[in-house]
Amino acid sequence: MIILSLIIWWLFPIITKNLVTQMNFIFALWFSALFAALYFLIIWIFKKEWKYFRKNDNWKYLLIHALINWIIFYILIFYWLQYTSAINWSIFWLTEIFFSYLFFGFIFTDNKSKFNEIAWTFLIVLWALYIIYPWELIINKWDIFIILSMLIIPFGNQCTKLSVRTFSPNFVMLIRSIITSIFLLFVGSIYYEFPNYQIINDNLIELI
């Protein structure tokens, strides 16, 4: 399962980069959220998890998680991938580790992480920068925006940890996918043209 997850995350920026060159980034993300919602809905029905709708605890964390990790973060990533490479995105994803340690392992916690742990994650960031920009001082501004996007992910992940104390991981994924798909469809319908059938059909596998 871990290996499969790594393969999926490795392929994600490549597939996404291809999608945003074929259709509008909002609808590319909307299709992904929609298929995710359908998938988790089937699991939710199979597991009979309707009891979670009656729970009142930690809904705010679930909604904040959906807002940060899906709506804000993925809109930014899908948009900025139009202007940078999939390889750069994959490498800059490593900065999430550093920011997670920095915020919730050192700044916003009483249990401070060891300095060497912070240092090692910082070295990961430096190594990522060196791989992309060996001995160069000119940096693509869109790469900077991707790094800034990674700043918000640790806060969304923290809300995820708090929400799964009450809800199952599947229910969390279901709600965030539904919220995201509704929001994106609303925004996309106002500002962008819906992709035609041929474009959807040609990219159906990537969308799923």
Condensed to tens digits (0 to 9), the pLDDT of residues 134-155 reads 555 456 777 778 878 888 888 9
CB of 149 within 8 A of CB of 76? Answer: yes
| pTM of the full structure | 0.77
Q: Is 90 exposed, middle or buried (0-12, 13-18, 19+ CB in 10 A)?
A: middle
The per-residue pLDDT for range 42-90, each reduced to its tens digit, is 999 999 888 888 887 789 999 999 999 888 988 888 888 888 777 777 7
Residue 197 φ/ψ region, left for φ over 0, alpha for ψ in the -120 to 50 degree band, beta for the rest: alpha
Find out whether 13 and 89 touch, Cβ atoms under 8 Å: yes
- Diameter of the chain by CA atoms? 57
Q: Look at residue 1 in the predicted model and tell me its pLDDT.
A: 47
